[in-house]
Chains A and B, each alone.
Chain A
Amino acid sequence: MEVRREKLRALSPLEEPSPPVELRVRQLRARDLLRGDLEGPELEKHVEESVLTTTLAKAVGWGRANSIFPATFGLACCAIEMMSIVSPRYDIARFGAENMRASPRQADMLILSGRVSIKMAPVVRRIYDQMLEPKWVIAMGACSSSGGMFANYAVVQGADKFMPVDIHVPGCPPRPEALVYGFNKLQRMILGNPEPGWRRRYNALGTEEWARAATGKASREEVDAYAAARELRTSHESARSRGSRRGRA
């Protein structure tokens, strides 16, 4: 069978699905490649079209971000909203996190859904310590982010006083959509491409508290982090000015 390479070159892989004959052409070319029949520019072209290169860190991050096992762990009223994210209406299975594990040993994400009282804090910390690396934490709602309406003697004023928190989702309680959105932000963090959020909206990248080189109190690591944040900003801006998302492989 004659291979119609002209047609193949004209067709972008992101456009319409290939007709069956194109698939057959690709199969034959792959067979040729394996036999060693493809040579020179033809081989180069085949590799360009059909092989994706990436770094190991990116590939691992892609796998981690799209297969997260949350711990079955509810603290208060936010837990009702958290439970509904696995329902068909919100369906976090679209993002690969529908499998709530009953044991922290099998989980890699903890959703702090509700206020943490000072008696509960050591328990939460212990559950967090029992989870295996890598692990992430979402503070859901005002109470676990800042104490919320419970500004009193019994409630910890923000869960990040005793454990690291990656994402804070505001709301009292947040809608399930908000939690799913926060989860998507966490996925971007895991992929190494965090969303700067309001700092980008207000053109304030590099003003993070930990990166204040100008105060003279910053350590060497903080100055490096400051430079990294600046670099991230320029890369974001150039990505934005490039515009189209479709061109990215």
Chain B
Amino acid sequence: MPDAPGLELIAQELNEASDESVLGTYHEHGQACLIVNPQRILDVLRWLHGTPGQEYRFLSSLHGVDYLPAEPRFGVVYELLNMPRVERLRVRAAVADPGPDSLPELDSCVELFPTAEFQEREVYDFFGIVFRGHPDLRRILMPEDYVGWPQRRDFPVGGEPVIFTHNEREVPRWFE
């Protein structure tokens, strides 16, 4: 785990390597996180993957988050792991919502981490974040003809009311 000064060093070196790539950092509960400009996410991951002394070669998880009232709205979180040193680093790409008519886009990291292929498909399936350069971007868990991005916060939960004795006067009489 990089400690708080180590995290700042990483952020500084990243900003020197590619301009404006790190937007912020935080270090909480012993976990280090870099908040990254989504335009530069592939540069950041490549630097963390290949630079001697960093060598975060293992992507243990890739997932999406929807922080709806907040701006930028989406986050794509990469949990990186250096296996020899057992150090973990979290990288979060802060993805803005381009509006209801188009989908947010981000560079795919499949060339660096082959495991990201299915996980990026899952993020696309549930949040509608398009990964540029992904070899086979389609839905993975929901049916292929499904419409909508079900894990977004503004997506209705679904289901239907069950008739019990306490609400049978209120729910629609489905049998009539």
Contact = CB atoms under 8 A, between A and B. Distances in A.
Interface residues of B, number: 15
Given A118-B143, A119-B142, A215-B176, A153 B160 contact: no
B67 to A, nearest CB: 20
A151 interface: yes
Contact of A153 (B158, B162, B175, B176): B158
- Interface of chain B: mostly helix, strand, loop or mixed: loop
B143 A153 contact: no
Nearest to A150: B159
Contact of A151 (B146, B148, B157): B157
B156 interface: yes
A187 interface: no
A147 B176 contact: no
Nearest to B151: A153
A119 B143 contact: yes
B150 interface: yes
Interface residues of A, number: 14
Contacts of B157: 151-153
B21 to A, nearest CB: 36
B143 A152 contact: no
Contacts of A150: 159
Interface string A211-236: 00001010000000000000000000
A144 interface: no
A147 B159 contact: yes
Contacts of A118: 142-143, 146
A113 interface: no
A-B interface, 3 closest residue pairs, ranked by CB to CB distance from nearest: A151-B159, A153-B158, A209-B175
